[in-house]
Amino acid sequence: MPSFEKYLTEVAVNKHLAIPSEFLQHLPDSEGGRTITFPVHDVSGKVWKNFGYYIRKGGGYPKPVFQDDWRRYVQDKRLKPGDKIIFRVERNEDNGAPIYTIAAQKKIELFGSFCWSSEF
């Protein structure tokens, strides 16, 4: 199952999240357009219907970023810089269609040590 993890930066929390370019092959095809929206399921069962990615131009290679429902997801989960997301592509058991899922983990300090919350 293809996936990637990202630690959130200030830009990721306030604007958009950079997607690894090599992960583009696992996302819906842009078909020549610039912004593609698709549903993403979070681990709590909520479906974010307009999760989208945008391909920034320049630099000689595509620079994809999540936007649209990305910002609402960040706000809903109260994510901050230093927290982490895990984005996965799973397959529907019935028809093999891709199911995009996202989970977040918060960085927690306990007794001077850092640990991660379970996915939420």
**Is the pLDDT confidence value at 110 over 80?**
no
Contact yes or no for 42/51 (Cβ under 8 A): no
Which pLDDT value is given to residue 24? 87
d(CA 81, CA 87): 17
The residue ranges of every structural domain in the chain are 3-116
The residue written with tokens 């007794």 in the block is: 111
Rounded Cα gap, residues 103 and 110, in angstroms: 22
What digits encode the pLDDT tens for the residues 46-101? 999 998 888 877 666 667 899 889 999 999 999 999 999 999 999 988 898 899 99
Determine the residue type at 43.
V
pTM of the model: 0.85
Per-residue pLDDT averaged across 3-24, rounded?
Answer: 93
What is the CATH code for 3-116?
Answer: 2.40.330.10
Q: What is the pLDDT of residue 120?
A: 59
Three-class secondary structure of residue 29 per DSSP: coil
User: ∠14-8-26 over CA atoms, to 5°?
Assistant: 100
